[in-house]
Structure 1
């Protein structure tokens, strides 16, 4: 355990920071700040994503699936842990991680769309393993990524999420963890046995409900103490650079915890979200990249910030707080609204974790599918093992598993971000094509596979258009009528 922690500290405390912030900054500069240039456009694409295109999953459903994974325990327990160990300044570095991560997310999800494959059932499958194989022609690298994806999300994170929710319910209601673990396994089994469509249907309902309810309650705390918000935001910024005396000794911890918990919360650059981004039926790959960059914004700048302000405005938190992130968030809300705040956090966390485990199970299936194919026996065996892990994880001390998951998560980021850096020219070609069509007046750009014949595309996923020039000409001709 000692050597595992040393390796974890080096990888997630040093290597991960360089990878996420360094390469994320490179993608930001190379794309001319795509996440800033397209920020207003993100809301338009989000609105357009509500329309279902064809028989496959819509862009909105893919967004809800990615938010099911991004918006999880990291937004409650992770933020609390970051503030506990790194002080208020950790929140600032979570913002920095998310800002550059939006560019990383744009490219990884765009490339997942470019290299996606039709699965023969009217749906698509894709992700980093597919753009590594078909974009870089490095199947060995894709196999390594898929193995890491299966171990990290399919096994380790499933156990961790189960532990988090069952112990939260035990603290709030006194429910024995072994029984809540079994109940959780049964409920999850009923959903994921129906495959990606049923997971998407459940996410469509639960993700907006859990997100809006949590934001509403935290906003109530923020609004009731609005006069303290400017000073709290100033404390966050000053603490991030060691300028706040009470937190001056936490500068290194603020950076490390901010990046680590920020990555755990929004997953930008890890190669997880592209697996669900690839399933959407969209007109242009970059449109899904824009939507997924927006989901990073929602996860960190909105939800994580709400949690951080809840903690810092409550009056419960003080430097040197000794406790875990869940307890800190529960007690912070209870300090403002009363004891029902602890119950609310437990219920919210349960919903967050439920959809997050569904997302993790699907990612594990994606990794397994790439490694061993679509055999039903293999898939059923995996699902049965996952249900056992959920029950087991609810009753264990998972410190070792958490350290191991951090290591494999860093390895995932390493493989994925190196692949993104090697494919940046392809990503820029897709982005430039998208931007050129928008400048030409096309509200919803379309992808013409014939213009990218040098790429290893699946022509079932991306059939040829009749004439892209006709589409642009029609959009230009429609502009005067729209203005009139």
Structure 2
């Protein structure tokens, strides 16, 4: 099975996907005239502007829900793996993915807002790649393929990574505990206890729906991200004289990498896409759930979330590991040799171990424990985000069948995710990460190709951005979105909303006149 997973992973994550991710980010940066730079101040303003409604969550809740998916094992263990397999230069390519990917995040999230729908069963906003592929391309089969791929990736392939990271972080602190034989496999009691805690809390929250998930992530994600970065900054300041040296190492190694240029780019892009989710097609689901006045607003907010994830949290991890020198760089995966060895041979690369060792170097046992706690919350909120995305795609696939099919589908996904969480927690990290990479790569291929085709067919996200900037320049107090006026078709929700707004203004004018 591991051999098969490795083969499939190699096919999906060929150089074609790596350069497609970078190329799409560069293309959309040019097409939006680098909106991720020009409108940076507007992004900050919009984060706290929107308010939740009966049908949708606030912009800030949508941001934290998407950050719950972004800020997870990719930021702690993923960065360590990028360094461990690709060398310090891989961090540079993560930055490139983050910067360019911010424009891709704008496009996919704006598309999700433009083509969102109201769930016929709950009245909540639903949207994402499956919805905008069907509406713009006019090919429901492509939307169905994406929805099925997303279901497989988010409910089967990805939850195991997060669960694996949590139990590995806990066992790094307190050890495996006494062994118990489960179906012929020796499992430590610590690992089982951590797994049981994840499953119980996960079950309680997911049966409460998107509002409960959004509330949990709104509280947990900012608190843990800020706390994590504060401790990382203290580590960097305690070794302030090394920061220029580390920065120079990252830049120089990006092009003459100790583990090879291809490894640096490959691992940097792979872990960058996994962490930032830019172009992956996962964050649009949260973006569609937001209550906003104009689709471009949530696109810009989601664009900013890539900065938080990659340029802040991932950078904090990278500088912490490189400053303290708590990493090894492997040669090839098969020869078992190290290009650089600073810590004990055999230290698990696909785990939070490098980050825990860096924290432990300055904070002692507290640092180790803090990373275990951070990993738990980061990974747990990512699992919640994964469930929400799976839920949206179940709704998409069953929305014309009926409420019973919807309930059965959602119940099946909940049980499947619990099974895969257990599977991931009890297997080796490298194997579980490889399975997760297949899921990420599969939906990234479908989404990036799809949004590029959409651009050449209709350019709805670019038209929305121009419309928003025109209103901003005119100094309007309340933004509106009239899709027909700017040549955007099949945006049914916004067409109906605009007609209602016009009717309300007409009635208000008549009332004042009378």
Q: Secondary structure at the match of 1:451?
A: coil
Whether 1:251 and 2:261 are equivalent positions in the alignment is: yes
Q: Residues of 1 paired with 2:171 and 2:496: CA distance?
A: 49
Change (3 A) 1:444 1:67: farther
2:474 maps to which of 440, 444, 466: 440
User: 8 Å contact 1:450–1:464 — kept in the other structure?
Assistant: no
Whether 1:135 and 2:136 are equivalent positions in the alignment is: yes
Using the TM superposition, name which of 247-256 and 112-121 deviates more.
247-256
Whether 1:277 and 2:291 are equivalent positions in the alignment is: no
Whether 1:160 and 2:161 are equivalent positions in the alignment is: yes
Using the TM superposition, name which of 397-406 and 121-130 deviates more.
397-406
Q: Residues of 1 paired with 2:24 and 2:493: CA distance?
A: 31
Q: Residues of 2 paired with 1:460 and 1:122: CA distance?
A: 15
Q: CA deviation at 1:348?
A: 0.5
User: 8 Å contact 2:157–2:438 — kept in the other structure?
Assistant: no
Query: Who is 1:186 aligned against?
Result: 200
Query: Who is 2:327 aligned against?
Result: 317
Whether 1:219 and 2:236 are equivalent positions in the alignment is: no
Whether 1:339 and 2:339 are equivalent positions in the alignment is: no
Change (3 A) 1:371 1:289: same
Whether 1:405 and 2:436 are equivalent positions in the alignment is: yes
Q: CA deviation at 1:317?
A: 3.5
Using the TM superposition, name which of 416-425 and 270-279 deviates more.
416-425
Q: Secondary structure at the match of 2:480?
A: coil
How do residues 88-99 of structure 1 correspond to structure 2 at under 5 angstroms?
88-99=88-99
Change (3 A) 1:462 1:314: farther
Query: Who is 1:308 aligned against?
Result: 318
CA offsets, 1:181-222, max 9 Å, x none?
Answer: 122101100001001001011111111111111111111111
Q: CA deviation at 1:13?
A: 4.0
User: 8 Å contact 1:155–1:364 — kept in the other structure?
Assistant: no
Q: Residues of 1 paired with 2:27 and 2:14: CA distance?
A: 20
Q: CA deviation at 1:326?
A: 1.3
Change (3 A) 1:223 1:444: farther
Q: CA deviation at 1:460?
A: 6.9
Query: Who is 1:205 aligned against?
Result: 219
Q: Secondary structure at the match of 2:282?
A: coil
Q: Secondary structure at the match of 1:423?
A: helix
TM-score normalised according to structure 1 size? 0.91
Whether 1:428 and 2:428 are equivalent positions in the alignment is: no
1:368 maps to which of 383, 389, 394: 394
Q: Residues of 2 paired with 1:444 and 1:259: CA distance?
A: 39
Q: Secondary structure at the match of 2:241?
A: helix
Runs ≥4 in structure 1, deviation > 6 angstroms? none
Using the TM superposition, name which of 24-33 and 343-352 deviates more.
24-33
Query: Who is 1:236 aligned against?
Result: 250
Change (3 A) 1:370 1:52: closer
Q: Residues of 1 paired with 2:391 and 2:219: CA distance?
A: 22
Change (3 A) 1:392 1:406: closer
Q: CA deviation at 1:137?
A: 0.8
Q: CA deviation at 1:251?
A: 2.0
Give the root-mean-square deviation of aligned CA atoms.
Answer: 2.1
Change (3 A) 1:406 1:330: same
Change (3 A) 1:131 1:301: same
Query: Who is 2:414 aligned against?
Result: 383
Q: CA deviation at 1:302?
A: 0.4
Q: Residues of 1 paired with 2:242 and 2:495: CA distance?
A: 52
CA offsets, 1:115-145, max 9 Å, x none?
Answer: 0001143420000000000111111111110
Query: Who is 2:148 aligned against?
Result: 147
Structure 1: tracts of 5 or more residues without a match? 471-484
CA offsets, 1:9-64, max 9 Å, x none?
Answer: 24214122121101111111111111111112211112324x44565211111001
Change (3 A) 1:178 1:148: same
Q: CA deviation at 1:160?
A: 2.1
Q: Residues of 2 paired with 1:105 and 1:459: CA distance?
A: 22
Query: Who is 2:82 aligned against?
Result: 82
Structure 2: tracts of 5 or more residues without a match? 176-188, 329-339, 506-514
Query: Who is 1:474 aligned against?
Result: none
Q: CA deviation at 1:448?
A: 2.2
CA offsets, 1:230-262, max 9 Å, x none?
Answer: 2211211111111xxxx4443221111100011
User: 8 Å contact 1:145–1:415 — kept in the other structure?
Assistant: yes
Q: CA deviation at 1:316?
A: 3.1
Using the TM superposition, name which of 175-184 and 416-425 deviates more.
175-184
Q: Residues of 2 paired with 1:439 and 1:235: CA distance?
A: 43
Q: CA deviation at 1:371?
A: 2.2
Q: Residues of 2 paired with 1:329 and 1:226: CA distance?
A: 18
Q: Residues of 1 paired with 2:398 and 2:352: CA distance?
A: 38
Q: Residues of 1 paired with 2:463 and 2:486: CA distance?
A: 9
User: 8 Å contact 1:165–1:353 — kept in the other structure?
Assistant: yes
Q: CA deviation at 1:461?
A: 7.9
Query: Who is 2:333 aligned against?
Result: none
Query: Who is 2:186 aligned against?
Result: none
TM-score normalised according to structure 2 size? 0.86
